[in-house]
A and B are shown apart, each in its own frame.
Chain A
Amino acid sequence: MKTPRRSFLQQLAFGLMAGAVLSQPLVARADVLDNIHKNGVVRIAIPQDFPPFGSLGPDLKLRGYDIDMANLVGQELGVKVELIPVTSTNRIPYLTTGKADLVISSLGKNAERAKVIDFSAPYVPFVKSVFGPEDAKIAGPADLTGKVVGVTRGSTEDLSLTKLAPAGTIIKRYEDNNATISSYLTGQVQLVTLGNIVANSVNAMTKLRRLSAKFPVEDTPCYIGVAKGEPALLAKMNEIVAKAKADGRLNEFSLRWLQSPLPKNL
């Protein structure tokens, strides 16, 4: 059987078309901000299982700090918002493969992540602190000497606390967050190290023993993630965060979802 041979010109045409198709995403992604305006929609990766940042409410609609933040960004850009639920492991791949324009998903910053994506200015604090009874006089790490402090073993706050605490501190390391919380509620430890947001929800759920914040051991706020090489979009995000911070909208979110005002130093 004879196969018809393609002429040189035909082959050239195929090659050019293939090249055009392959280069298409690159061309399209050259300026995400332009594309957002052209399509009239911004695709934002958000959490769906991490209250109070993003979770399903009783009406099965997404709600939380990050959801409010995503809507605020859409409003400022003057386009519709398409929410893309992601998990903490796939949120960065969504951004790097162009499946999302922005990541607003309680995203913390570290050196490894900074190699693959860019970060806006922080839009929400995520502080881990030492907590204790209202009347405990603990102003800083030095006051921990001789005190019994509970913490969840192997967590980032465990590593930070271990570094900060003076030699005489008695650190009790529990298996998980629940055991750490129980150790404090039942009086097995004098102080405990937890995320501020976790402590707030514990205070909201039980009156057994109040958790009152003493001093922060770790401050890793969350940022809006932007793909590398998008200076226009990054600048726009920084502008939106600064504006929302100045006009009190971020403070409003913070009061609504974290039950505390936005810290001044964010």
Chain B
Amino acid sequence: MAYQFDFPAVFDYTDALVTGAGVTLGLTLVGALLGGALGTLGGVVRAWRIHPLDWAFRLYVEVIRNTPFLVQLLFIFFGLPSLGVQINEWQASILTMVVNLGAYTTEIIRAGIEATPRGQIEAAQSLAMNRWQTFRHVVLRPSLQRVWPALSSQVIIVMLGSAVCSQIATEDLTFAANFIQSRNFRAFETYLVVTFLYFLLALLTRQLLNWVGRRFVAPRRPCSPEVR
């Protein structure tokens, strides 16, 4: 028996798909901003071994990077209420994404900072730059330039991983897919459309991050390799 494809059955739910895609994108943006900030802090602390925060971040990174995202999410959503921490599914999803992304970016940014040549810092000091100026212009910005592609990829990984937030009834794109599929029983069509939407979202996110990278992270006056 030949399967009769019925894509209009999916497009009846366009509203749900658009809302879901918006939620996924929103979760990713907020998660990337806060997670990136947390990761930057962690990267600096880890690279410069600032006690006692150093140990706290080390433990945090090891715990988060060695446990599944879904388990972290379920722990925050269903586990924390036992300790009296009642947060809704949005807060739980964002918190999990921030905590998860923060751990990975900590390591990425630490690697970038540790790759700063000693001589550049000495050069900055000899130019009478103060500690903040040295950190901002000589350490952080070039570090971010070095690891920007890795950071972008990590953000996209977390965005795709946010699909599991649908497990706690966050109405993201995957939730929309499961919802539609449970109403029209058109699994092939529904998941194909949603796969395509995720692909578009990932491309969009990468473009956005490339633009942010060029605009805010790359050197102000690009110089050719010969000059550098």
Contact = CB atoms under 8 A, between A and B. Distances in A.
A183 B78 CA distance: 7
Given A153-B179, A173-B169, A173-B179, A188 B82 contact: no
A40 B181 CA distance: 50
Nearest to A189: B169
A172 B89 contact: yes
A174 B78 contact: no
B168 interface: yes
B88 interface: yes
A187 B82 CA distance: 9
Interface string A62-97: 000000000000000000000000000000000000
A179 B169 CA distance: 10
A175 B167 contact: yes
B111 to A, nearest CB: 37
B67 interface: no
Nearest to B79: A186
A145 to B, nearest CB: 19
A188 B182 contact: no
A154 B81 contact: no
A150 B166 CA distance: 14
Nearest to B185: A154
B178 interface: yes
B77 interface: yes
A174 B179 CA distance: 10
A175 B88 CA distance: 17
Interface size on B, as a range, is: 10 to 19
Contact of A179 (B81, B82, B86, B168): B168
Interface in B196-224: none
A153 B178 contact: yes
Given A172-B89, A173-B169, A179-B168, A186 B82 contact: yes
Nearest to A186: B81
Contacts of B168: 174, 179, 183, 188
Contact of A158 (B82, B86, B166, B182): B182
Contacts of A203: none
A154 B182 contact: yes
Contacts of B182: 153-154, 158
B81 A188 contact: yes
Nearest to A187: B81
B179 A188 contact: no
A209 to B, nearest CB: 10
B181 to A, nearest CB: 8
Contacts of A172: 89, 169
Interface size on A, as a range, is: 10 to 19
B179 A179 contact: no
Contacts of A186: 77-78, 81-82
Nearest to A179: B167
Interface string B80-101: 0110001011000000000000
A90 to B, nearest CB: 21
A182 B179 CA distance: 20
B78 A182 contact: yes
A264 to B, nearest CB: 35
Interface in B41-87: 77-78, 81-82, 86
Interface string A233-256: 000000000000000000000000
In this complex, the member of B86, B166, B175, B182 whose beta carbon has the largest number of chain A beta carbons within 10 angstroms is B182
A187 B78 contact: no
B178 A188 contact: no
A153 B181 CA distance: 10
A69 B78 CA distance: 40
Contacts of A183: 78, 168-169
B122 to A, nearest CB: 55
Contacts of A174: 167-169
A188 B167 contact: no
A179 B167 CA distance: 8
Contacts of B178: 153-154, 175
A158 B78 CA distance: 22
6 contacts: A158-B182, A173-B179, A186-B77, A188-B81, A188-B88, A188-B89
9 closest pairs, A vs B, by CB? A154-B182, A172-B169, A186-B81, A186-B78, A182-B78, A153-B182, A175-B167, A187-B81, A174-B169
Given A153-B182, A182-B78, 19 more contacts: A153-B179, A154-B182, A154-B183, A174-B168, A175-B166, A175-B167, A175-B178, A179-B167, A183-B78, A183-B169, A186-B81, A187-B81, A187-B86, A188-B78, A188-B81, A188-B86, A188-B88, A188-B89, A188-B168
